[in-house]
Amino acid sequence: MFDITHNTIGGLLFWVFQLVTYYIDHTQMNLGVCIFLGPWLTFGLGIFLYAIVLNYRLYILFWLLIRKQPTGGLIYHLIFSLVYLPTCIFLIISSSLTSFTTTIPSPGPGICFYSDTFHYLAMGILSYLALIGIVLNILLRNVRKTFNEYRETMVSTVAFVLLLLALTIINSRAVHRYSWGRFLATLACLVCVHAFFWVALTPMLWGYWRNREGFLMTFKSDLASDGLSDFSSAPRSRSNDPHSCHGVFDSDDPSSLEHTCSTRTLDLHVCASEMELSLAKYLDQSLDGRDEKGHVV
């Protein structure tokens, strides 16, 4: 659910409203509509939100696995406020100053106009958020690379950095003035915000079409190496309780729970994401010829 919300809100809003703002050059609108479409929907609730949530996932992993402390508390939230404060400042400035967002002619309904300063500040914040993601990935470099949360977020971070480079080139070359340039920019955004889903689904789909039996055997072997003998995992919690445990278990044998608990550290080492477990379970059922309730299909 977290991944769906993360990509849908941040990714689709940025992608859709980039298209909207690109193609309203000759549409008469009120200043309030221009502010809502540009600073808020395209950036504040779009690509900035996407990057903030992406960094927050990395921040949680850093706090749990590197600092070895439970999440929560004043210091925990104050440090992360440094990530989203620039976005809040950007929204306030671009919404209140006509030198950032205005209409032509002004005042009154006109064509939405976003100044060069507006675009420079937006690109600066994007670069700042990308830098935070890179630093957090470096700090987490010793985390087991098959750990699902880190693996998923690392793919998204790399895609975000590539998107930033693409947008920088497009803006510096004024390519966005042409229809094909705007198409490339929006296509790059679409690829970026859904990069993890594409990377995670590709092995599944390839295995489904080419060699389902072999793929499932390999997948089950990987699960077994991490303490799973079935397509199930322990419910994950981000509780502030310092005594809480995280682990994986066999649904038929609760005694097989493998975990390491202490008052200040959480040992998390699941290699398969929930999406991969669900898809693999579906493939297994399709081979067996039965649905989830055991009915023959």
Last residue of a domain, one of 196, 219, 250: 196
The beta strands (E) that lie in 82-171 are given as 101-104, 111-114
CA-nearest of 47, 48, 24, 22 to 176 is: 22
Whether the CB-CB separation of 34 and 125 falls below 8 Å is answered with: no
Q: Alpha carbon of 121 to those of 56, 86, 115: distances in Å? A: 22, 10, 10
Higher pLDDT, 266 or 89: 89
Tell whether 206 is covered by a domain. no
Whether the CB-CB separation of 126 and 170 falls below 8 Å is answered with: no
- Supply the pTM of this predicted model: 0.65
Last residue of a domain, one of 196, 221, 246: 196
In the three-class reduction of DSSP (H, G, I as helix; E, B as strand; rest coil), residue 214 is classed as helix
Last residue of a domain, one of 196, 226, 241: 196
- Whether residue 110 sits in one domain with residue 236: no
Whether the CB-CB separation of 93 and 288 falls below 8 Å is answered with: no
What contacts 40, CB < 8 A, 6 or more positions away? 91, 95
- Whether residue 166 sits in one domain with residue 48: yes
Q: What is the pLDDT of residue 90?
A: 95
CA-nearest of 61, 39, 10 to 163 is: 10
Q: What is the pLDDT of residue 76?
A: 92
Tell whether 127 is covered by a domain. yes
- Whether residue 244 sits in one domain with residue 97: no
- Whether residue 159 sits in one domain with residue 12: yes
Tell whether 204 is covered by a domain. no
What contacts 110, CB < 8 A, 6 or more positions away? 28, 29, 103, 104
Tell whether 181 is covered by a domain. yes
- Whether residue 226 sits in one domain with residue 185: no
Q: CA end-to-end span of the chain, whole Å?
A: 28
Residue 35 is encoded by which pair of tokens? Answer: 């502010």
- Whether residue 7 sits in one domain with residue 123: yes
What DSSP element (H or E) covers 91? helix 74-96
Tell whether 90 is covered by a domain. yes
- Whether residue 185 sits in one domain with residue 80: yes
Q: Enumerate the β-bridge partners of residue 102.
A: 113
Q: What is the pLDDT of residue 269?
A: 41
Q: What is the pLDDT of residue 164?
A: 85
| Beta-carbon count within 10 A of 88 CB | 12
- Whether residue 13 sits in one domain with residue 142: yes
Tell whether 203 is covered by a domain. no
Domain count of the chain? 2
- Whether residue 132 sits in one domain with residue 270: no
Among the residue ranges 19-28, 135-144, 160-169, 230-239, the one predicted with the least confidence is 230-239
Measure the CA–CA gap between 266 and 236, rounded to whole angstroms: 11
Measure the CA–CA gap between 246 and 202, rounded to whole angstroms: 28
Residue 90: give the domain boundaries: 2-196
Tell whether 70 is covered by a domain. yes
Whether the CB-CB separation of 292 and 255 falls below 8 Å is answered with: no
pLDDT at 253 over 60: no
- Whether residue 215 sits in one domain with residue 167: no
How many CA atoms within 13 Å lie on the side-chain side of 206?
Answer: 6
- Amino acid symbol at 180: W
Q: What is the pLDDT of residue 273?
A: 54
- Whether residue 165 sits in one domain with residue 18: yes
Q: What is the CA radius of gyration of the chain?
A: 23
Tell whether 219 is covered by a domain. yes
- Whether residue 251 sits in one domain with residue 116: no
Quick one: pLDDT band at residue 282, thresholds 50, 70, 90?
low
Highest mean pLDDT among 26-40, 61-75, 165-179: 61-75
Whether the CB-CB separation of 227 and 248 falls below 8 Å is answered with: yes
